Amino acid sequence: MALMTPEQFEESLKEVKPRVFMNGKRVENILTNRNTRTVVEANKASYAWALDPQYKDIMACYSPLINDTVNRYTHVSTSTDELVKKAEAGTFTAEMLGTCIYRCVGYDSFHSLYANTWEMDQELGTEYHPRFLEYLKMVQENDLSVGGALTEARGSRME
Protein backbone atom coordinates (compact mmCIF):
# COMPACT_ATOMS: atom_id res chain seq x y z
CA MET A 1 0.00 0.00 0.00
CA ALA A 2 1.93 3.04 -1.20
CA LEU A 3 -0.99 5.48 -1.09
CA MET A 4 -3.44 5.57 1.79
CA THR A 5 -6.96 6.96 1.67
CA PRO A 6 -7.95 9.79 4.03
CA GLU A 7 -10.10 7.31 5.93
CA GLN A 8 -7.22 4.87 6.33
CA PHE A 9 -5.06 7.70 7.64
CA GLU A 10 -7.64 8.60 10.28
CA GLU A 11 -8.03 4.94 11.28
CA SER A 12 -4.25 4.66 11.64
CA LEU A 13 -4.33 7.49 14.18
CA LYS A 14 -6.72 5.48 16.34
CA GLU A 15 -4.21 2.63 16.37
CA VAL A 16 -1.15 4.64 17.44
CA LYS A 17 -2.77 6.74 20.19
CA PRO A 18 -0.17 9.54 20.13
CA ARG A 19 0.83 11.36 23.31
CA VAL A 20 0.16 15.03 22.61
CA PHE A 21 0.44 17.95 25.00
CA MET A 22 -0.85 21.43 24.37
CA ASN A 23 -0.53 24.40 26.71
CA GLY A 24 0.89 22.13 29.38
CA LYS A 25 -2.05 19.71 29.30
CA ARG A 26 -2.43 16.34 27.68
CA VAL A 27 -4.75 16.13 24.68
CA GLU A 28 -6.78 13.02 25.37
CA ASN A 29 -8.01 12.45 21.81
CA ILE A 30 -6.50 14.23 18.80
CA LEU A 31 -9.49 13.24 16.70
CA THR A 32 -11.99 15.09 18.86
CA ASN A 33 -9.91 17.98 20.22
CA ARG A 34 -10.93 21.15 18.35
CA ASN A 35 -7.33 22.29 17.89
CA THR A 36 -5.76 19.02 16.78
CA ARG A 37 -8.72 18.05 14.62
CA THR A 38 -7.72 20.81 12.17
CA VAL A 39 -4.31 19.13 11.80
CA VAL A 40 -5.98 15.77 11.17
CA GLU A 41 -8.25 17.31 8.50
CA ALA A 42 -5.32 19.06 6.78
CA ASN A 43 -3.41 15.80 6.64
CA LYS A 44 -6.45 13.94 5.35
CA ALA A 45 -6.63 16.45 2.51
CA SER A 46 -3.05 15.62 1.51
CA TYR A 47 -4.02 11.95 1.27
CA ALA A 48 -7.14 12.74 -0.78
CA TRP A 49 -5.26 14.97 -3.23
CA ALA A 50 -2.60 12.32 -3.88
CA LEU A 51 -5.37 9.97 -5.04
CA ASP A 52 -7.40 12.57 -6.96
CA PRO A 53 -6.70 12.48 -10.75
CA GLN A 54 -7.07 16.28 -10.83
CA TYR A 55 -4.26 16.87 -8.30
CA LYS A 56 -2.11 13.74 -8.33
CA ASP A 57 0.48 15.33 -10.65
CA ILE A 58 1.27 17.80 -7.87
CA MET A 59 0.62 15.62 -4.81
CA ALA A 60 1.93 12.21 -5.90
CA CYS A 61 5.04 11.00 -7.68
CA TYR A 62 6.99 7.89 -8.58
CA SER A 63 9.54 6.62 -6.07
CA PRO A 64 12.38 4.46 -7.39
CA LEU A 65 13.03 3.39 -3.78
CA ILE A 66 9.88 1.26 -3.69
CA ASN A 67 9.05 1.23 -7.41
CA ASP A 68 5.60 2.69 -6.80
CA THR A 69 3.62 5.91 -6.65
CA VAL A 70 3.96 7.74 -3.34
CA ASN A 71 2.61 10.86 -1.70
CA ARG A 72 4.90 13.75 -2.61
CA TYR A 73 5.30 14.50 1.11
CA THR A 74 7.19 11.21 1.51
CA HIS A 75 9.57 11.74 -1.41
CA VAL A 76 13.07 13.17 -1.84
CA SER A 77 13.42 15.30 -4.96
CA THR A 78 16.15 14.14 -7.33
CA SER A 79 15.81 16.69 -10.11
CA THR A 80 15.11 20.35 -10.72
CA ASP A 81 11.64 19.43 -12.03
CA GLU A 82 10.87 17.57 -8.80
CA LEU A 83 12.02 20.54 -6.74
CA VAL A 84 9.64 22.73 -8.72
CA LYS A 85 6.84 20.22 -7.99
CA LYS A 86 7.82 20.35 -4.31
CA ALA A 87 7.35 24.12 -4.33
CA GLU A 88 4.09 23.81 -6.26
CA ALA A 89 2.79 21.30 -3.70
CA GLY A 90 3.53 23.73 -0.87
CA THR A 91 1.80 26.59 -2.65
CA PHE A 92 -1.13 24.40 -3.69
CA THR A 93 -1.80 23.10 -0.18
CA ALA A 94 -1.53 26.56 1.37
CA GLU A 95 -3.97 27.99 -1.17
CA MET A 96 -6.42 25.10 -0.86
CA LEU A 97 -6.38 24.91 2.94
CA GLY A 98 -5.63 28.46 3.94
CA THR A 99 -3.36 26.94 6.56
CA CYS A 100 -0.35 24.70 6.98
CA ILE A 101 -0.42 21.12 5.68
CA TYR A 102 1.64 20.06 8.73
CA ARG A 103 3.75 17.70 6.64
CA CYS A 104 6.23 20.25 5.27
CA VAL A 105 8.73 19.97 8.12
CA GLY A 106 8.94 16.21 7.72
CA TYR A 107 9.19 16.62 3.95
CA ASP A 108 12.03 19.11 4.29
CA SER A 109 13.80 16.93 6.84
CA PHE A 110 13.86 14.04 4.34
CA HIS A 111 15.81 16.23 1.94
CA SER A 112 18.20 17.34 4.65
CA LEU A 113 18.73 13.83 5.99
CA TYR A 114 19.26 12.43 2.50
CA ALA A 115 22.09 14.87 1.79
CA ASN A 116 23.62 14.93 5.26
CA THR A 117 23.69 11.17 5.78
CA TRP A 118 25.34 10.71 2.39
CA GLU A 119 27.96 13.37 3.18
CA MET A 120 28.62 11.90 6.62
CA ASP A 121 29.14 8.44 5.15
CA GLN A 122 31.61 9.84 2.61
CA GLU A 123 33.50 11.87 5.18
CA LEU A 124 33.33 9.65 8.25
CA GLY A 125 32.96 6.16 6.82
CA THR A 126 29.62 5.68 8.60
CA GLU A 127 26.57 3.83 7.27
CA TYR A 128 23.84 6.35 8.02
CA HIS A 129 22.67 6.85 4.44
CA PRO A 130 21.56 3.24 3.80
CA ARG A 131 19.80 3.25 7.18
CA PHE A 132 18.02 6.48 6.28
CA LEU A 133 16.96 5.01 2.92
CA GLU A 134 15.47 1.99 4.72
CA TYR A 135 13.53 4.35 6.98
CA LEU A 136 12.32 6.37 3.98
CA LYS A 137 11.21 3.17 2.24
CA MET A 138 9.18 2.25 5.30
CA VAL A 139 7.61 5.72 5.35
CA GLN A 140 6.73 5.45 1.66
CA GLU A 141 5.43 1.87 1.78
CA ASN A 142 3.12 2.77 4.67
CA ASP A 143 2.31 6.30 3.44
CA LEU A 144 3.17 7.74 6.83
CA SER A 145 2.63 11.36 7.72
CA VAL A 146 5.90 12.60 9.17
CA GLY A 147 5.86 15.94 10.93
CA GLY A 148 8.14 18.10 12.97
CA ALA A 149 7.91 19.22 16.54
CA LEU A 150 8.00 22.73 17.88
CA THR A 151 8.86 23.14 21.51
CA GLU A 152 8.85 26.26 23.57
CA ALA A 153 11.13 26.72 26.53
CA ARG A 154 9.31 27.90 29.64
CA GLY A 155 10.57 30.34 32.17
CA SER A 156 12.11 33.77 32.13
CA ARG A 157 13.71 34.85 28.87
CA MET A 158 14.96 38.14 30.27
CA GLU A 159 18.46 36.83 31.03
Domain coordinates in residue numbering, the chain? 6-141
pTM of the model: 0.86
Confidence (pLDDT) at 96:
94
Under the banding of pLDDT at 50, 70 and 90, the label for residue 92 is very high
CATH 1.10.3140.10 fits 6-141, yes or no: yes
Whole-number Å distance between alpha carbons of 85 and 77:
9
Share of the chain above pLDDT 90, in %: 75
pLDDT band at 20 (very low <50, low <70, confident <90, very high): confident
Would you place residue 17 in the very low, low, confident or very high pLDDT band (cuts 50, 70, 90)? confident
Contact residues for 82 (Cβ-Cβ < 8 A; gap 6+) = 61, 75
Whether 140 and 70 have beta carbons less than 8 Å apart is answered as yes
Higher pLDDT, 141 or 149: 141
